[in-house]
Structure 1
């Protein structure tokens, strides 16, 4: 299995018999212009022809970005199958149909389902969807003996990790959010936000440990807070280097990808170039 990192929370999982695009947000601002992508995503147009499925984890616009979904060619919309959890599916499928998508498949909670016309087949890619919280979901992609779990920002607890591990048996690579996304606004922020940011890193490590993951890819936090109302959060946000270094200190393996990079599941990965590219980005204040 190969993972193509597009940007923020979006990847393409290339399996032996199919490819899945996940949670694409390719341009523009969201949440009333208060989140901006950093850096810009990279989606190789050549990948579109190989994509057979599009998974949307939940309704938040950094995962379900309607302008991006609308921007894909009509031929793509007519050909691919959108994957979504069974919860709250009626309104979501209606929205997708309004954008021109025609094929859909709903994923039940905690069931391993094959993407094949032969339900009893032991070969081919299989999916496992875990419904988390009130609206989120995580997706495991199982290709032969390799398992990739996309936890995005589902905030899976360690007890939920044990359920997932019981179902999928092992996790080769975990994708997990590594920085701040929500804040209740307690004052002063310099008192509360550093601990909140550290807790996110602790959670990344705890989930890695609870799933016995071989590798964690930090993602789903490649934004900066870009309005007058929330820019004060930026100095306290974790960088991808913070996440990488924290996991290293816990003797846990991390792989850092820059938009456009690939990761071969089960192979050694050198994160140094990606880390240098992130470090060279203009600061949020610039």
Structure 2
């Protein structure tokens, strides 16, 4: 098996039984905030796209690149389709001309037969509202000799199926770096923002190491990040100036951490790097440039590399910005009312979970999303808010113009906004912004309406607690960490007070626990 990095979470997997292109991404994402790092724009995309199979894990724009898929990937490639509750991914691929789909069943091993031979594949599909835009997934591939698990940025809660169906995993590709706007965009004291950044940087790498330990692969390829920020307004978000609170560490940072914890099987790959495996043996690893040049991209020459990259991509960034809607125009109250109010009226669980009005400052205009009353309105004099956002008008006008169903994976991941809140993170609010279609909101509201299974119990550090995390059902025997009377689920960093069962991260989501 030969694995070629094509940048970020993208890989091409070549076997005797066929080739699979996974998550190719080149076009700047999230209002041109994110670029792949290192630069992958000069790869031979026509050759890379001449494949037998295509796998797109989910619809995030750093995984689903319609330009590359439309222009460079064979349209008769068989799409390995995750088992999602809402068919948005299939619809978007069909719009691009793909017409052959192999529909998988979540966490079930399938044999895919083609003219070149048979491949065993499994797609672990995550289907909670918090997973991608209604879905994220990981792909397992076996050619009968080598088993690769491309987890990209999915966060599976149960990996026992891997050993049961595939035995030993030889190669494991997964996310270790940040892909979020927190805490950078929040209005909070700099000291607090620094502390939260340091904490998040370490927790995301700790979570990755937990996955590595669970999967137990011989070789590990850190991937799916970090993004590169080339807009001068965002350049400080790059981890190139020794900031321990930066949430976007690169591959070398994580590989050094792996090594410090005794794991020597980490592989550094850049766009164009190829690794050839026979079972658990690494036969070869080749880079498109020298080893010294590869290391310099991530270490001594990183700031210069990003500066040169930004200069090359300045025309691309300018063209992206020129495609945005003008900031000026008719007031946004009426179009936002038309967009949001039908979604509000169809989402009792989510609106009740939000529980208060939310302020949107959009240029000179302020609009209130009144979730308790299911209305969009103007603010009342001296009204106070527990949650609010300040978003450039051109971004809001663009997503309204384009009928974008997901503000989380457009506006919010761009980091081109500011936010403030009183109290904890509100998962329901971000779920609402992710589900701006009838299908999505119906699924998400129904998902929250279902009771989570909390019947099984485990013992951790002197407490008996429910085994499944109240957030997304992660197995707390694997992801739970107790410090004093505080439980942290390292899958997403949510916390609970074990003496009261109260969630410290957001309202609701109580945990069943008692001290032994």
TM-score bucket (shorter structure):
0.7 to 0.9
Change (3 A) 1:88 1:204: same
- The question of whether the paired residues in 1 share the 8 Å contact of 2:123 and 2:140 is answered with yes
> Quick one: distance in 2 between partners of 1:95 and 1:259?
26
Count residues with an aligned counterpart: 275
User: Could you tell me which residue of structure 1 aligns to residue 253 of structure 2?
Assistant: 242
Q: After TM superposition, give the deviation of residue 222 of structure 1 in Å.
A: 4.1
Q: In the aligned structure 2, how far is the partner of 1:220 from the partner of 1:40?
A: 14
Unmatched segments (≥5 aa) in structure 1: none
Larger radius of gyration: 2
Aligned pair in 2 of structure 1 residues 216, 85: CA closer, same or farther (>3 Å)? same
How far, CA to CA, are the matches of 1:22 and 1:175 in structure 2?
A: 11
Q: TM-score, normalised by structure 2?
A: 0.50
Distance in 1, Cα, partners of 2:164 & 2:207: 20
- Normalising by the residue count of structure 1, what TM-score does the alignment of the two structures yield? 0.86
| SS of residue in 1 equivalent to 2:202 | helix
The verdict on how the C-alpha distance between 1:269 and 1:180 changes in structure 2, with shifts beyond 3 A counting, is farther
SS in 2 for 1:246: helix
Counterpart contact for 2:46–2:72, Cα < 8 Å: no
Q: Distance in 1 between matches of 2:21 and 2:212?
A: 23
Pairwise mapping of residues 39-118 of structure 1 onto structure 2 (< 5 A)?
39-41=38-40, 42-43=43-44, 45-49=46-50, 51-72=51-72, 76-77=74-75, 79-88=76-85, 90-116=87-113
Candidates 281, 295, 305, aligned match of 1:275: 295
CA deviation string 1:257-279 (max 9, x = no partner):
11111011221666955334443
Query: Greater relative contact order (Cα 8 A, min sep 6): structure 1 or 2?
Result: 1
Which residue does the alignment assign to 1:177? 175
Runs of 4+ in structure 1 off by over 4 angstroms are 226-232, 268-273, 283-286
What do the CA deviations read for 1:132-182 (whole angstroms, capped 9, x no partner)? 25310000001113110001001234xx23343333222101001121111
Counterparts of 1:97-246 in structure 2, within 5 Å, are: 97-116=94-113, 124-134=118-128, 135-157=135-157, 160-185=158-183, 186=186, 187=188, 188=190, 189-227=193-231, 231-235=235-239, 236=246, 237-246=248-257
Q: Is the 8 A contact 2:151 2:174 kept in 1?
A: yes
Q: Indicate if the aligned counterparts of 1:12 and 1:22 stay in contact, CA closer than 8 A.
A: yes
Distance 2:307 2:173 in 1: 28
Aligned mates of 2:175, 2:140 — CA distance in 1: 16
